[in-house]
């Protein structure tokens, strides 16, 4: 059986990706910081805990990432799929966002994925498996009040391109998916500019978490390199490429909620 590890796997998109990986017959590890959420997801998806296992860890701690990979290999001897899904957003203007929040955005949204990839890569390479990165449409074109988040997710683009250039000849699949507005869990919080936590308001006309997970599994099966979700994502990419001034004018008036 193939073995998958999903960071941010206890909630949201990660939970739905775990559900689909289980349906594909994989052994699944979900990794997250929230012990209660991990237990809830494990009980929901695999009450007998025969094919789903949880690991409590913080991806911003590279030694915790190493321990997580070591646990998977010790238990099952292989790793075929890593989904770097852990992340956290923010709201705040650049001149109001503290250095601590900027550091958190880079650590959670970029370095956490890089740490997990570093320790997982030898095992993924041995299986000619896949490493998937969950990014955001704001990584393609930044919008107001999310500069730190956009920078963290944007770094994943260059990272995945460099990584792919290094390992594609070894049969390793590297994919990045740019996600648009997606329904959020009721208790989801994000950082404000000063570092305090604030609730994320409910989003209208958003992708369901199940939809995003299905696209993610399609990317894995077809070994696609890049996927941009939502018509808005495709339109904004087109607009920025061919009409950059108009794109900047529109983006400057965008107000994320």
Q: Which of 155, 159, 150, 77 is nearest to 117 (CA)?
A: 159
Phi, psi of 211 (to 5 degrees): -60, -45
Q: CA 121, CA 149: separation in Å to the nearest integer?
A: 25
Under 8 Å between Cβ of 181 and 188:
no
Q: How far is CA 190 from CA 88, 93, 128, 159, in A?
A: 6, 14, 36, 24
Annotated catalytic residue, options 115, 149, 191, 215? 149
Helix/strand/coil for 133: strand
**CB-based contact 119:67 (threshold 8 Å):** no
Whole-angstrom distance, CA of residue 72 vs CA of residue 78: 7
Catalytic: 159?
Answer: no
In this structure, is the dihedral angle defined by the CA atoms of residues 178, 10, 195 and 108, taken in order, positive or negative? Answer: negative
Catalytic sites, residue numbers: 149
């Amino acid at each position: 059986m193939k073995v998958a590890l999903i960071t941010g796997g206890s909630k949201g998109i990660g939970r739905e990706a775990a559900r689909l990986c289980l349906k594909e017959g994989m052994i699944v590890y979900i990794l997250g910081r929230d012990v209660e959420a991990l237990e809830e997801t494990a009980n929901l998806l695999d009450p007998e805990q025969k094919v789903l296992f949880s690991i409590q860890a913080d991806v911003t701690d590279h030694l915790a990432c190493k321990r997580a990979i070591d646990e998977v290999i010790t238990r099952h001897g292989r790793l075929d799929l890593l989904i770097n899904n852990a992340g956290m957003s923010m709201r705040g203007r650049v001149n109001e966002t503290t250095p601590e929040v900027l550091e958190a955005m880079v650590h959670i949204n970029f370095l956490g994925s890089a740490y997990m990839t570093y320790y997982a890569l030898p095992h993924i390479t041995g299986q000619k498996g896949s490493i998937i990165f969950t990014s955001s449409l704001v990584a393609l074109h930044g919008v107001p009040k999310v500069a730190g988040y956009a920078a963290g997710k944007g770094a994943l683009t260059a990272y995945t391109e460099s990584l792919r250039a290094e390992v594609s000849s070894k049969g390793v699949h590297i994919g990045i998916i740019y996600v648009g507005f997606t329904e959020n869990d009721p208790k989801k919080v994000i950082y404000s500019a000063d570092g305090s936590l604030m609730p994320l308001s409910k989003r209208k006309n958003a992708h369901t978490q199940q939809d995003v997970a299905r696209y993610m599994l399609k990317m894995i099966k077809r070994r696609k390199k890049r996927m941009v979700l939502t018509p808005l994502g495709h339109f904004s990419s087109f607009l920025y490429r061919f009409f950059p001034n108009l794109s900047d004018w529109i983006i400057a008036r965008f107000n994320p909620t």
